[in-house]
Amino acid sequence: MKQKLSLLFVIILMTSIIYPQASKNSDNPFFKKWNTPFETPPFNEIKTEHFLPAIEEGIKLEKAEIDAIINNKEKPTFKNTVEALEKSGEFLSRVTRVFGGLTGANTNDELQKIARITTPMFAKQRDDISLNPQLFEKIKTLYLEKDKLKLTPEQKTVLENYYTNFIRSGANLTAEGKEKLRKINEEMSMLGLKFSENSLKETNAVGLVIDNKDDLAGLPDDLIKSAAELAKAKKMESKWAFTLQKPSFIPFLQYSTKRNLREKLFNAYITRGNNNNEFDNNKIVSRITSLRVSRANLLGYKTHADFVLERNMAKNSTAVYKFLNELWTPALKRANMEVADMQKIIDNEGDNFKLEPWDWWYYAEKVKKEKYDLDESMLRPYFQVDNVRTGVFAVASKLYGIKFIERNDIQVYHPDVKVFEVQESNGKHIGIYYSDYFPRDGKRSGAWSSGFRGQSNIDGKFITPLVYNVGNFSKPTADKPALLSIDEVNTLFHEFGHALNSLFSNTMYPGGKSTPRDFVELPSQIMENWALEPEVLKMYAKHYQTGEIIPQELIDKIEKSRLFNQGFETVEYLAASFLDMDWHTLSDTNERDVQQFEKQSFAKIGLIPQIQSRYESTNFSHMIGGYSAGYYSYIWAAVLDADAFQAFKETTLFNKKVASNFRKYVLAKSGTEDAMDLYKKFRGREPKVDALLARRGLN
């Protein structure tokens, strides 16, 4: 009885301060219950000045919740320790999820100032929790008794994850070691923030301005109009501006006949963060990679890669390098064949130069036209962004029986954002999906998926997720809607796969989930397989003007060109993967010359001069962010997704039984059990590499 009363006191304490100091913050929406559909964020009410006081209060509240767990004198139980930890930080999470969403997709100077203030606060808060000896002792006690506690499989996994995470966060260090770790974590968090700020500034810069109409030779009308609109917005009348965002610079490289301008724009893109200016990232990269070694050594690991890969499917760097090298040789062979095709065109046209990286897109388009009678301008009219989104919805509906209902009554943080309610076929609510597809100055580059709220089911209270997809796709112009490239179509399908993973999540304890980085890309990458299937193209690829379904002739050309440029795409990706691994298998803390290190990394694998790595260190956001020693994950997961998709191809494209199993074992439960065990439950065996090699023409 005494234990129940103590636990009740903790619960009352925690729930009574979910909306603290409401009277003092009566105009701050974070201190109120959100009376919005499905308690979605009230973006119309949220102002920049609301974040800092809400974050500060959230940190105080989480500390009080953690203190309540620590000070509970009762014997540790799963409920009064692990479940209580799962419930802690709810208020802070609500604030930081919105704050993080905006700083990624719609930031400004004021939000960045707040990020600089709060980043060390968050680092300290994390360390205060993970380095607390009394809290760790409770977790350790439960861990050592786990086989006697009659836990469910998920509860046992969650407990093991908490224990492991505490150890990996420094819980076993001496007082001196903990203090060193705190300093490392704080410095790394601030350097990571500065890297991101610099990358945003460099990527949003105008890479090329044209004032002579003759220099627009070869460019499609849509690109010219878009460049004119951008120049006008930048107050450069009667000029044309091209940015370092992919929807701007890639088409320029594909079609511009001006080789000197292609070189200028390409170099501006590839050297982002490496211009010896106020946004230079060289010293940041060198320092972060050094600090990562220091942290790994402090925690008992030789390298940062050893620390990271311990929790991944690959397990160690030897396995990763072996895997990458097995793919590198056939990929390089295919890339050299592609070089020969393009050099032949250059020679036949009477030009006396060797193919360079800034020539690749231009001559690859010529090869595509020559070999397959196909170019991007023929396809874009059939890939209007709304139709592509409708297409991915249709695929999900046919696979999983779900439906999407546009909601105009849910507030958004930018007019470009569209919102949809996701329901089961019987109308049961699953979650909310936001899509935000177009570039803007306040948005970082690339594409990603995240959420304003995650799914959970503690105490039988099922919380539904609020998920968003963000992209930087081709924008609409004054007289045309947004028309996507094939690459952008694949990216839209990819990020939607991540969204489905979040929407279908069906676990009790989200904080205790641990999905390996090299497994988390399976749900996203498998969705790409449907994007260009003939049966699927006929569902959504409609001409934006006539509504005509994409003709069979074009579908056949797409099918025949599936292996086009696969050598290039694989090599540029693998080069970046090797670079990431090389940085993170260093075992000393020396700070290195970044440019020299890169040259050595690429020389070691024999990267050909015609291809540049997909990223250089100074703009390699994946490497500095959450994919350190893990960029290989995309191609590791490609083995999984190619093999998993074969389960459909071996039966039918929309086999509901296969889809149901994929949802049950992969999408709903990822992170709650061993990743390979989940895959085998779905597929009945371990994955085979054959399907990936065939798909990329590397067999």
Q: What is d(CA 420, CA 435) in angstroms, rounded to the nearest whole number?
A: 8
**What are the residues facing 451 on neighbouring strands?**
467
| Helix (H/G/I), strand (E/B), else coil: 370 | helix
Q: Residue 462 has what DSSP assignment? A: P
Residues 202, 421, 495, 616: which is the catalytic one? Answer: 495
Give Cα 185 distance to the centre of its chain. 22
**b/e per residue 221-239 (b: at least 16 CB within 10 A):** ebbebbbbebbeeeebeeb
Q: What is d(CA 486, CA 465) in angstroms, rounded to the nearest whole number?
A: 29
Encoded tokens for 378: 């023929």
Neighbours of 278 (CB within 10 A): 7
Tell me, letter by letter, the H, E, C secondary structure of 133-182: HHHHHHHHHHHHCHHHCCCCHHHHHHHHHHHHHHHHCCCCCCHHHHHHHH
Neighbours of 329 (CB within 10 A): 11
The length of the chain in residues reads 699
Encoded tokens for 130: 């993970």
Encoded tokens for 656: 């509901």
Encoded tokens for 589: 């803390």
Question: Residue 223 is inside which H or E element, if any?
Answer: helix 221-233
Give Cα 594 distance to the centre of its chain. 25
Q: What is d(CA 646, CA 655) in angstroms, rounded to the nearest whole number?
A: 11
Residue by residue, DSSP assigns 567-585 as: HHHHHHHHHHHHHHHHHHT
Decide if 495 is catalytic: yes
> Which one-letter amino acid corresponds to residue 499?
A
Encoded tokens for 256: 């511009």
542 contact partners, CB below 8 Å, separation of at least 6: 382, 384, 387, 548, 549, 550
545 contact partners, CB below 8 Å, separation of at least 6: 381
> Which one-letter amino acid corresponds to residue 223?
L
Encoded tokens for 532: 């260009």
CA dihedral 324, 329, 330, 333 (to 10 degrees): 140
Q: What is d(CA 183, CA 247) in angstroms, rounded to the nearest whole number?
A: 40
Contact between 612 and 357 (Cβ < 8 Å):
yes
Q: What is d(CA 557, CA 560) in angstroms, rounded to the nearest whole number?
A: 5
How buried is 131 (Cβ within 10 angstroms: 0-12 exposed, 13-18 middle, 19+ buried)? buried
Query: What's the count of helices (H) and strands (E) in the chain, helices before strands?
Result: 28, 7
Give alpha helix (H) positions in 385-485: 385-400
The phi-psi region of residue 670 (left if phi > 0; otherwise alpha if psi is between -120 and 50; otherwise beta) is: beta
Q: Which residues are catalytic?
A: 495
